[in-house]
Amino acid sequence: MLDGEKKLQVYSTANQDSPFMDGHFPVLGLDVWEHAYYLNYQNRRPDYVKAFWSVVNWSFVEKQYNLYR
């Protein structure tokens, strides 16, 4: 995400909070709450995260980055 100074950084939020609430602009997000992966991955969160990288739309991420910076 891009912070308020337009610097790219990794950011995590608690519970249902959004980076927008803190004035940040997400360019890529990954939900790691159990509800996001449990039905398909049970307790195998690393497998879920690995699978996530295979479906990232990098063209869209680039557009989001360029939009916010």
Q: Is the dihedral angle over the CA atoms 11, 13, 18, 23 positive or is it negative?
A: negative
pLDDT above 90 (res 65): yes
Domain definitions of the chain by residue range = 19-68
| pLDDT-derived band at 39, boundaries 50, 70, 90 | very high
Does domain 19-68 correspond to CATH entry 3.40.50.410?
A: no
The pTM for the full model equals 0.79
pLDDT above 90 (res 3): no
**CB of 68 within 8 A of CB of 2?**
yes
pLDDT above 90 (res 69): no
pLDDT above 90 (res 37): yes
